[in-house]
């Protein structure tokens, strides 16, 4: 297993509003499939498909799409939304498909959340036919002008339990170690402008931040809100509020 029960529960809970919160995934999904450039009719496996950002772009290109995800919540919504896809609940590290079953394997923003990305890449390689292509997207950790918000979260909620995020160079090394050849990557930027501090608060609300703040002792909750609106106002005055999301798209071939 390359995901934990806790991880699956997290994505089950996010499933309803996933693409509303992570507004950039649909755009990145389309770009990832364009980057892989599969011919019509290609057999495409999308791993960690979520609500289908990448898989639906595969359908739009005329691919025969199979989508898997570890989260039951994501899988049931995918199956309902896309009856034309084969949808299965599976772990990226133990795919239930025969060797050489697919021409393209995609995974949008998935390897970064796995406990053992190498095990998943070995599986991607196994199920890909010779001459096949893997295409992955990876979040780029660019805090940019939102550093104040990360600092605010850290000072009230701590730094979280995650280790260092997977870097683009590391991912290319892992692809080579898994037996892929010719890794290539491009960078994409997906800025989103918000009209005012209230819109930033609303976006955080989709992720449950105000609820977590309200669960703090009252003094801390008040202090959090005060600092949030003071610093968000400052950002608004100094050039506007922008969520600066960025990613790298990685592609590599099977020999």
Ligand X SMILES: C[S@@+](CC[C@H](N)C(=O)[O-])C[C@H]1O[C@@H](n2cnc3c(N)ncnc32)[C@H](O)[C@@H]1O
Question: Rounded CA gap, 91 and 171, in Å?
Answer: 19
Q: Is 48 in the site for ligand X (CB under 6 A)?
A: yes
113 to 58, 107, 226: CA distances (angstroms): 22, 11, 32
Q: Is 53 in the site for ligand X (CB under 6 A)?
A: yes
Tokens of 44: 């495409």
Q: Is 114 in the site for ligand X (CB under 6 A)?
A: yes
Nearer Cβ to ligand X, position 187 or 222?
187
Number of residues lying near ligand X (CB under 6 A): 23
244 to 30, 35, 139, 191, 247: CA distances (angstroms): 19, 22, 11, 4, 10
Question: Rounded CA gap, 178 and 116, in Å?
Answer: 12
- Map tokens 């009719």 to a residue: 41
3-state secondary structure of 43: strand
Bridge-partner residues for 251, per DSSP? 135, 184
Nearer Cβ to ligand X, position 191 or 255?
191
Q: Single out the residue of 38, 50, 117, 132 in contact with ligand X (rule: CB under 6 A).
A: 50
- Map tokens 């969520």 to a residue: 243
Q: Is 121 in the site for ligand X (CB under 6 A)?
A: no
For ligand X, the nearest residue by Cβ is: 50
Q: Is 92 in the site for ligand X (CB under 6 A)?
A: yes
Nearer Cβ to ligand X, position 22 or 228?
22
Question: Rounded CA gap, 88 and 69, in Å?
Answer: 7
Q: Is 110 in the site for ligand X (CB under 6 A)?
A: yes
Nearer Cβ to ligand X, position 208 or 240?
208
Q: Which run of H or of E encompasses 199?
A: helix 197-206
Q: Is 109 in the site for ligand X (CB under 6 A)?
A: yes
Minimum distance from residue 145 beta carbon to ligand X (Å): 23
Minimum distance from residue 151 beta carbon to ligand X (Å): 24
Q: Is 63 in the site for ligand X (CB under 6 A)?
A: no
Contact in structure between 43 and 133 (CB atoms under 8 Å): no
Q: Is 54 in the site for ligand X (CB under 6 A)?
A: yes
DSSP 52-80: THHHHHHHHTT-EEEEEES-HHHHHHHHH
Minimum distance from residue 101 beta carbon to ligand X (Å): 16
Q: Is 33 in the site for ligand X (CB under 6 A)?
A: no
**Interacting residues toward ligand X by CB under 6 A:** 2-3, 7, 11, 25, 29, 47-50, 53-54, 69-71, 74, 91-92, 108-110, 113-114
């Amino acid at each position: 297993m390359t995901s934990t029960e806790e991880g699956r529960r997290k994505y089950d809970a996010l499933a309803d509003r996933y693409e509303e919160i992570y507004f950039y995934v649909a755009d990145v999904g389309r770009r990832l499939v364009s980057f892989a450039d599969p011919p019509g009719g290609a057999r495409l496996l999308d791993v960690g498909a979520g609500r289908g950002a990448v898989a639906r772009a595969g359908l739009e290109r005329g691919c025969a799409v199979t989508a898997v995800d570890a989260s039951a919540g994501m899988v049931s919504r995918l199956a309902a939304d896309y009856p034309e896809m084969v949808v299965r609940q599976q772990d990226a590290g133990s795919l239930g498909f025969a060797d050489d079953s697919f021409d393209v394997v995609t995974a949008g923003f998935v390897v970064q959340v796995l406990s053992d990305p190498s095990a998943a890449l070995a599986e991607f390689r196994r199920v890909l036919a010779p001459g096949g292509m893997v295409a992955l997207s990876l979040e780029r950790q660019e805090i940019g002008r939102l550093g104040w918000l990360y600092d605010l979260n850290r000072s009230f909620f701590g730094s979280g339990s995650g280790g260092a995020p997977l870097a683009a160079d590391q991912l290319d090394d892992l692809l080579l170690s898994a037996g892929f050849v010719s890794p290539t990557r491009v960078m994409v930027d997906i800025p989103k402008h918000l009209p005012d501090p209230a819109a930033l608060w609303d976006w955080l609300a989709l992720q449950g931040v105000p609820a977590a703040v309200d669960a703090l002792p009252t003094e801390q909750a008040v202090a959090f809100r005060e600092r949030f609106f003071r610093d968000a106002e400052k950002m608004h005055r100094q050039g506007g509020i922008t969520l600066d999301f960025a990613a790298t798209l990685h592609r590599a071939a099977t020999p």
